[in-house]
Structure 1
Amino acid sequence: MTGDGTRVAHAGLPDPVPGQPFLPGPVFAAPYHLDPVAGPQPGTPGYGRPDNPTRVALEAAIGELEGGECVAFASGMAAIAAVFQVCGRNGSVVVPSDGYFAGRALAEQMLPSVRYAPTAGPAPDFAGVSLVLLESPANPGLDMCDLPALSAAAHAAGALVAVDNTTATPLGQRPLDLGADVSVASGTKALAGHSDVLIGYVATRDAGLAEKFRSWRALGGAIPGPFEAWLVHRSMGTLDLRLARQSTNAAAVAEVLAAHPAVVSVRWPGRPADPAYDLARKQLRRVPGVVTFTLADKAAVDRFLTASTLIAAATSFGGLHTTADRREQWGDDVSPGLVRLSCGIEDEADLVADLQAALKAV
């Protein structure tokens, strides 16, 4: 296998043709010309909802990184909805009690039977379960779980396993290599990485499941636009470089936070003191640039954000710019002082200096 930097730079690109660009621009089309006699033909675009060559190229690129067949959606939530619809309608579904709160809300609305379990365990009994959704590292708490062990236990009970790979990205871990049936993610975050596009995807090695995902997407209409697909494909070429800087920054930020008396707690799986450190060493090829920490209360977070000049108050994560998100404000069931910090690609020394100055205000 070639290195990560080579893989992301070349993933999904067409064969070189003189006079043509490395990555062709987006194809904008609702209908396409059909053969006037034969009509629609397999492998030839006929209508924009199921067919678009720009989206197909992006799916090929993500599929190379995830190690499976990719189906792209208009957002991460649309991708999760497809997983619930396709994999979770015939029995109970287990979802992480500490995972992305909107995923839990969606499960409660869509599914007839939902069970909850913490990411770090203990794992529940999987009897009667059709789908186990895992999130490792979990968002926002960054706990991890043993993906091969839980996948084996779920499969023994007849359940499918989907892993939310948003935080780790396919360069951080490949859930399909670790026993999962489906890898699902919001590409809005680090995969696209420029805070300017919404997109999601599922990846699987099961051709039957992939076809069901495509069918659900075509019927449900959660189609990513061609320009969005092109933007993500273009941005993926620097994924290796961006993740490397973000992870380096996160390591420095985590140490500063852990040493400061105003900080109640710090989570980053790359720190030896972190409860998820051993699993991170075992499962993650690289630790993401997200650090979660807790200050005393909302007022302390307010002072921190107001004092910083480099850390922007914004939700989402994985972008070029360092951002901080007080998660309780969105309805997440966490402490009012819990902050998810997404490290950007700023110089480490500048980011650390700004962080230290902001903590003085706390």
Structure 2
Amino acid sequence: MTANHTIAAEILHHRSKSLAKGDPVSLPIVPAATFHLPEVAGAAHIYGRNGMSTWEAVEAQLALLEQAEVVSFPSGMAAISAALMAVLKQGDRLIIPADGYYVTRVFSAGFLAPFGVEVVEMATRDYDTADFSGAAVVYLETPSNPGLDVVDIAAVVARARAAGALVIADNTTMTPLLQRPLDLGCDLVVAADTKAPAGHSDVLFGHVAGRDPALMARVRDWRRLSGAVPGPFEAWQVHRGLETLELRLERMCASAAVIAQRLGEQAGVTAVRYPGLAGDASYAVAQRQMGSGGFLIGFQMASAARAERFLTDCRYLVQSTSFGGTHSSGERRARWGDQVAEGFIRLSVGIEPLEVLWSAMAEALGES
């Protein structure tokens, strides 16, 4: 029995002890903006922007996953921007990955830089040797999205600490079941629960996690004062999705490991990236800090046209700009401006039966 198995069981039963006779086993949706307040003292809830019971239930689940305090948000970017706004001020230097999620770069350049934050972009692979002197915040994403480069989180944290910087990790691609940045010393973790945690491609959600009460108070204040709050129905959707996360990840990651190996043997496919492959540049570090290679695979085809044809012809791939859902999905990332080859595909492996999925992929790969 692993720690993840215990966490999975706790997530399923985290409300059980609080249930009274006749209470619904499924989490109720409480769509309330205002609450009965004959007096404020002792009230569990005051106003919908401050908190509500459906948020609290999903935050309790996420806190079990992270083993840390959690504040939920209406999207992954809301969580990312909250974490950055909570810790940065005018004159600070922020280091962000040049090859990570592009919206983080757009937000930093478009809003943080005009407020007087010095934004420094660097490739994920350079974090292992970078000089962090003068930095206030080192923001990392590992594996990077979409290139799937991996950095040694503990080593980066040690050098950032020596430079006096806080470390924020985007753990969206892994989830806390596969990688635990807080255990490796990060100050805050951000994640888009839109992806694997919710898992069904039907809700936007995100969270910030941390173990420093002062930092988390700042994050919570940002949510309350900015109004970047999730809705109760969305919280309920994520709560339901989290109950099957461990089960879905088990199949997704197992299938991805097999598919990555097979892709490397296909004519017309080059530069396969999957941290779980023994020949991958990130394999050694991934083995130390990740529970598996994950469910994302990167690979290249000869041209943009060939990549698009593969995505169109494979009957069990959804073409979408997200990942982590029950359906396998693929996307040619260069169309969004990522610094990758025109024929580069980011593949997110879903929960389809492996051989059925691979058969459809092999057929589409074999077409001229």
TM-score greater than 0.5 by the shorter chain: yes
Query: Does 1:24 pair with 2:27?
Result: yes
- Once the two structures are superposed, residues 7-60 of structure 1 have per-residue CA deviations (whole angstroms, 9 ceiling, x without a partner) of 33234666232211223211111111112xx3x235521110111110011111
Q: 2: distance between equivalents of 1:266 and 1:88?
A: 37
2:99/2:338 contact within 8 Å kept: no
1:27/1:226 contact within 8 Å kept: yes
Alignment of 1:1-362 (within 5 A): 1=3, 3-11=6-14, 15-35=18-38, 38=39, 40-41=40-41, 44-90=44-90, 91-111=92-112, 112-121=117-126, 122-362=128-368
- Once the two structures are superposed, residues 298-330 of structure 1 have per-residue CA deviations (whole angstroms, 9 ceiling, x without a partner) of 100121022111111111000000100111222
Q: 2: distance between equivalents of 1:13 and 1:115?
A: 47
2:37/2:43 contact within 8 Å kept: no
Question: What amino acid is aligned across from residue 57 of structure 1 in structure 2?
Answer: A
Dislocated runs of 4+, deviation >6 Å? none
Evaluate the alpha carbon distance shift between residue 290 and residue 42 of structure 1 in structure 2; reply closer, same or farther with a 3 A threshold.
Answer: farther
2:7/2:64 contact within 8 Å kept: no
1:250/1:343 contact within 8 Å kept: yes
Question: What amino acid is aligned across from residue 21 of structure 1 in structure 2?
Answer: P
5+ residue gaps, structure 2, are none
Q: CA deviation at 1:229?
A: 0.4
Q: CA deviation at 1:257?
A: 1.1
Q: 1: distance between equivalents of 2:143 and 2:321?
A: 18
Q: CA deviation at 1:163?
A: 0.5
Evaluate the alpha carbon distance shift between residue 135 and residue 361 of structure 1 in structure 2; reply closer, same or farther with a 3 A threshold.
Answer: same
Instruction: Report the more deviating stretch, 161-170 or 252-261.
Output: 252-261
Question: What amino acid is aligned across from residue 73 of structure 2 in structure 1?
Answer: F
Q: 2: distance between equivalents of 1:28 and 1:143?
A: 41
Question: What amino acid is aligned across from residue 267 of structure 1 in structure 2?
Answer: R
1:137/1:144 contact within 8 Å kept: yes
5+ residue gaps, structure 1, are none
Instruction: Report the more deviating stretch, 109-118 or 229-238.
Output: 109-118
Q: 2: distance between equivalents of 1:12 and 1:208?
A: 27
DSSP 3-state at the match of 1:184: strand
DSSP 3-state at the match of 2:279: coil
Question: What amino acid is aligned across from residue 125 of structure 1 in structure 2?
Answer: D
Question: What amino acid is aligned across from residue 178 of structure 1 in structure 2?
Answer: L
Question: What amino acid is aligned across from residue 36 of structure 2 in structure 1?
Answer: H
How many residues are matched? Answer: 359
DSSP 3-state at the match of 2:189: strand
1:325/1:341 contact within 8 Å kept: yes
Instruction: Report the more deviating stretch, 236-245 or 250-259.
Output: 250-259
1:84/1:110 contact within 8 Å kept: no
Q: CA deviation at 1:109?
A: 1.6
Q: 1: distance between equivalents of 2:171 and 2:297?
A: 16
Percent identical: 43
DSSP 3-state at the match of 1:33: coil
2:308/2:332 contact within 8 Å kept: no
- Once the two structures are superposed, residues 117-143 of structure 1 have per-residue CA deviations (whole angstroms, 9 ceiling, x without a partner) of 221224322122111101011111111
Q: 2: distance between equivalents of 1:103 and 1:302?
A: 26
Q: 2: distance between equivalents of 1:164 and 1:14?
A: 33
1:58/1:230 contact within 8 Å kept: yes
What's the TM-score once normalised by structure 2's chain length? 0.94
Q: CA deviation at 1:331?
A: 2.5
- Once the two structures are superposed, residues 75-120 of structure 1 have per-residue CA deviations (whole angstroms, 9 ceiling, x without a partner) of 0001111111112225100001111111111111222211122212
